[in-house]
Structures are given as structure tokens and as C-alpha cells.
A and B are shown apart, each in its own frame.
Chain A
């Protein structure tokens, strides 16, 4: 055996010993095992004997009734508690699945940061129909149009304590990250936690927010959540929300979907942005195109951008796509807008 290998073996003994020694093991308590398996039969014969004993006798019936009564009382208590809670906090109190909420908070560091006063801006929750949702729950006489609209978006209710506002550097705008509880399926009363975003500020042409069903956590992990709007300077400004662990995002190359103006996807340069508080801000400008046969003005071109997420060490975390509308300025024969 060589000296090198002897050294390695010695090092292995020491490192594994030190590593194992650093684990603080809780004192052993055999009652944990005894209580968990003492009722499990040991052999097939015992198993058969136990099965025979499972004929519902008087004791069994009484036990079942007791269990049923306990379940009913428990359910009633939970319902009463929930009602009391929603009455004490009429503005907040979304009915939500704790597990999916916790998962969302775990996935997005920005939600774990303290809430600022900017998060109380009512414009952040207007796009998610929070007020209409609350109204719909309290009153029966909701116009059918609102009912359909709410149902189509899973009856979303803003999770106000989790709303965060992230400034978008260089865009004179800010992104509202609005977690909501919603019904993933219209037929189910189960609620899950998802995400809406709103884009506000003078850097974009008017406030805008996500529409349709909220973005689920799995979708957020696989694709992120993007929102774009026209900017006053004639570019497309927006942001992409990504889970923890992503530090940089590259958008591009692009594929243009039936462009109404003669613009080539190769004319649009790829853009890269750093991620700050789970949000990357983009300002994408497209060169002006000329076409004497068309009217001058700004046109919206639907596009799909290849999107690459990078980690801190520069490795690629994920490749995905982002759908967005690009603003293209066309110089033609007359004014369009």
C-alpha cells in the first residue's frame, strides 16, 4: 500500500469520525418504537387472529360512534373558529391551504422579508378583485358577470400580509408581488396559494396586473412569472419573478408571432438582468423599422423569448420560455397613433 493511500485512509477515518461526532443525537427513547408498533401483529397467524377479532361487536360500535362524534365536534369547532376569525378580520383572512402557503414563502425570499407601507397601496390588489371577492362572499346578490369573472379566476382573495413591493431599478416603476388564495378547480372547495403581480409607476404606460388564474408554485418554479407593459419611451418594460437560487436572467433570442410590421427577430438583442428580491427588471427596445406602405406609429408584436436562469456561480439553473408583447416603432407614410 502506498504512502498516499495510507494518508487518504487516515484522513478518511478522521474526517468521518469528526463529521459523525458533530451530530448531536437526541437521547434514545424506545417508547417511540414501542408505542408505534406494539399494536402491529407479529406473525401471519396473529394477523389472521386479529382479522377475526375485527367483527364489529358492541365495543366496536361504541368506539366507532365515539370516533364519529369526535370528528363531528372537531369539524364544527374548526368551522366556528374559522368564522370567528373571518368576522374579526373582514379585510384579510383568506381561506388558504397552509401547506401551499408555506411552500410559496419558502420558495420566494422576498415574501420572507418584512412588509413595507408601500404594500398597502390599494392599486396592488385591485387587479386581483379582492374587494369584489370579499363582497361576493358576504352577499348573495352579486351580478352574474362578476360571479363568472371571479369563478374563472378561481375566486382569488389577496393574502394581504404577504404582499410585497419590489422597486425595479432603471424603470421608474415597481412590481407588486401579490400572493392570493384561489380555487385551482371550480368544482373543488380546496384552496391553494398562488401568485399575481402588478406593475405600477411612471416608467410604464398605466398600471397593469396579471389576469386569469393565479400562477401556481409549480408553474413559478418551472417558468417564473413575467409581466410586461409599454413604456413611455417606446420600449417594453417589465419584470420576471423567479424562485430563490436564481441570480441572473437572460431573455433571448426571440421568436415573433405573426408580427404586424416587417421586423425580424434577429433585430432584437438579447437582454440580461440581475435578480433582486426574486425579481429581474427588463427594458427591451426594438429598433425602429421603416415601411412606406404602412402607417407610422407604435405596434405591439407578440413574442416568445428563450429564457435562461443562472445561479450565483454562473451555472444554468433552468431554460424556459417567456411570452411577452414587444413594442415596435414603425416609420411609415402617416401617423398611426
Chain B
């Protein structure tokens, strides 16, 4: 019996689903955390977001046709929910420092500009330029039309360009 199957048996869960889910989890977890990190700017939040998304997927894993697309959408949505809550909390405690990666000055400025973008614009930028997702995939993840994705991307680039030349 494989390790994942053994986990399923030990935990009293359906072995077939656990094997499939365990493989999916191992394959997608790291990339999902990186995506959530780029969207939230917080490592702890990224891990929480991905755990919540994975928990949601696990419950209905056998019924989901494309779990990777489902995971992308769940991560994007949960990161937005976290951001709303975090903003409320930040209003109360305004001096919390976010984690900052080590980058060249110009790159750090660009990253800060990306982090200042409205959430949906930031999600489009991250999905397109880091994830390499197609417009259809981004539209599915954000729950909008392809035209909206194009418009969000265009506005985001305009804004980044404007901040870079300021």
C-alpha cells in the first residue's frame, strides 16, 4: 500500500479519493502558496488561504473535473476575502509591517506598485505575468468575462507605467 493510501486508511477516509487528492495536494501546494503570497503579501496568510482552499477541494474532490482550475479560483477568492479582513484589521493597528522580499531598488518599487493595485487588477497581473495563465483561465478564476480581464490588465499596466515614470 502506498503512503498516501495508508494515510487514507488510517484516517478512515475513502482511499481512492485520498490517493488522488494527496497527489494533487503535493503537486499543487507549493505553487498555490506562491500565488497566494503574491496576492496577499503575507506568508502566514498565503498558507492559511491555501489550506482553506485545499480543505474545500478535498470535500468534493471526486466531483471536480478540473481541480487545478478550481484551486486557482479558490485561492484568488480567498485571498481577496483575507485582504478585506486584513484591511479592517490594519485600520485598527496601522503599524503592522508586511514581509518584504529582497530585490533591487527599481524592482522593489515595481513590486510595491503591484501591491498597491486594486485587488482584481493585481490578480490579473500576477496571473498573467507570473502564472502565465491564459485570458480564459484568468476570467474563470476571477469569475468575469475575457473582455473584463483585458480591461483590468490594460488599466493595471497603465497605472504601473504611470507610477514608474513619476
**Chain A interface (Cβ within 8 Å of chain B)?**
4-5, 8-9, 11-20, 22-23, 25-26, 28, 30-38, 40, 42, 221, 243-245, 317
Q: Which of A8, A19, A40 contacts B111 (CB 8 A)?
A: A19
Contacts of B46 in A (CB 8 A): 23
Cross-chain contact B129 with A16 (CB below 8 angstroms) = yes
Kindly specify which of B19-27, B66-74, B80-88 makes contact with the partner chain.
B19-27
Top-9 shortest CB links A-B: A28-B29, A16-B130, A245-B95, A30-B25, A20-B34, A12-B129, A30-B22, A38-B13, A22-B101
Q: Which residue of A lies closest to B61 (CB)?
A: A42
Contacts of A14 in B (CB 8 A): 107
Q: A12-B110, A28-B30 are in contact. Are A34 and B130 (CB under 8 A)?
A: no
Q: How far is the CA of A15 from the CA of B125 in the complex (A)?
A: 12
Q: How far is the CA of A153 from the CA of B101 in the complex (A)?
A: 47
Q: How far is the CA of A35 from the CA of B54 in the complex (A)?
A: 12
Q: Which residue of B lies closest to A4 (CB)?
A: B161
Cross-chain contact A16 with B126 (CB below 8 angstroms) = yes
Q: Which of B13, B35, B103, B129 contacts A13 (CB 8 A)?
A: B129
Contacts of B102 in A (CB 8 A): 22
Cross-chain contact B95 with A23 (CB below 8 angstroms) = no
Shortest Cβ gap from A112 to chain B (Å): 14
Contacts of A4 in B (CB 8 A): 161
Cross-chain contact A36 with B37 (CB below 8 angstroms) = no
Contacts of A8 in B (CB 8 A): 157, 160-161, 164
Contacts of A32 in B (CB 8 A): 51
Contacts of B93 in A (CB 8 A): 221
Q: Which residue of A lies closest to B8 (CB)?
A: A34
Q: How far is the CA of A247 from the CA of B4 in the complex (A)?
A: 55
Cross-chain contact B51 with A38 (CB below 8 angstroms) = no
Interface size on B, residues (CB 8 A): 46
Interface centre among A19, A20, A26 (most CB of B within 10 A): A19
Q: Which residue of A lies closest to B97 (CB)?
A: A245
Q: How far is the CA of A43 from the CA of B95 in the complex (A)?
A: 44
Shortest Cβ gap from B129 to chain A (Å): 4
Cβ of B135 within 8 Å of any chain A Cβ, yes or no, is no
Chain B interface mostly: helix
Q: Which residue of B lies closest to A22 (CB)?
A: B101
Cβ of B116 within 8 Å of any chain A Cβ, yes or no, is no
Q: How far is the CA of A75 from the CA of B102 in the complex (A)?
A: 47
Cross-chain contact A19 with B101 (CB below 8 angstroms) = yes
Cross-chain contact A33 with B111 (CB below 8 angstroms) = no
Q: How far is the CA of A155 from the CA of B37 in the complex (A)?
A: 45
Shortest Cβ gap from B68 to chain A (Å): 14
Cross-chain contact A23 with B34 (CB below 8 angstroms) = yes
Contacts of B18 in A (CB 8 A): 30, 34
Cross-chain contact A18 with B107 (CB below 8 angstroms) = yes
- Other than the given A23-B34, A34-B18, 13 more pairs (CB < 8 A) read A5-B157, A9-B129, A9-B157, A16-B114, A26-B47, A30-B4, A30-B7, A31-B7, A31-B11, A33-B54, A35-B11, A42-B59, A245-B94
* A-B residue pairs in contact (CB < 8 Å), sample of 28: A5-B161, A8-B157, A8-B161, A11-B106, A11-B107, A12-B114, A12-B125, A12-B160, A15-B107, A16-B130, A19-B111, A20-B34, A20-B130, A22-B102, A25-B30, A30-B7, A31-B7, A33-B25, A34-B8, A34-B21, A36-B51, A37-B55, A38-B12, A38-B13, A42-B59, A42-B60, A244-B95, A245-B95
Cross-chain contact A19 with B103 (CB below 8 angstroms) = yes
Q: Which residue of A lies closest to B106 (CB)?
A: A11
Cross-chain contact B58 with A34 (CB below 8 angstroms) = yes
Shortest Cβ gap from B127 to chain A (Å): 10
Cross-chain contact B157 with A25 (CB below 8 angstroms) = no
Q: How far is the CA of A90 from the CA of B22 in the complex (A)?
A: 54
Shortest Cβ gap from A7 to chain B (Å): 10
Cβ of B38 within 8 Å of any chain A Cβ, yes or no, is yes
Contacts of A34 in B (CB 8 A): 7-8, 11, 13, 18, 21-22, 58
Q: Which of B38, B95, B164 contacts A20 (CB 8 A)?
A: B38
Contacts of A18 in B (CB 8 A): 101, 103, 107
Q: How far is the CA of A117 from the CA of B114 in the complex (A)?
A: 49
Cross-chain contact A15 with B103 (CB below 8 angstroms) = yes
Shortest Cβ gap from A218 to chain B (Å): 9
Cβ of B149 within 8 Å of any chain A Cβ, yes or no, is no
Q: How far is the CA of A4 from the CA of B8 in the complex (A)?
A: 53
Q: Which residue of B lies closest to A12 (CB)?
A: B129
Contacts of A13 in B (CB 8 A): 129-130
Shortest Cβ gap from B14 to chain A (Å): 9
Cross-chain contact A23 with B130 (CB below 8 angstroms) = no
Q: Which residue of A lies closest to B156 (CB)?
A: A12
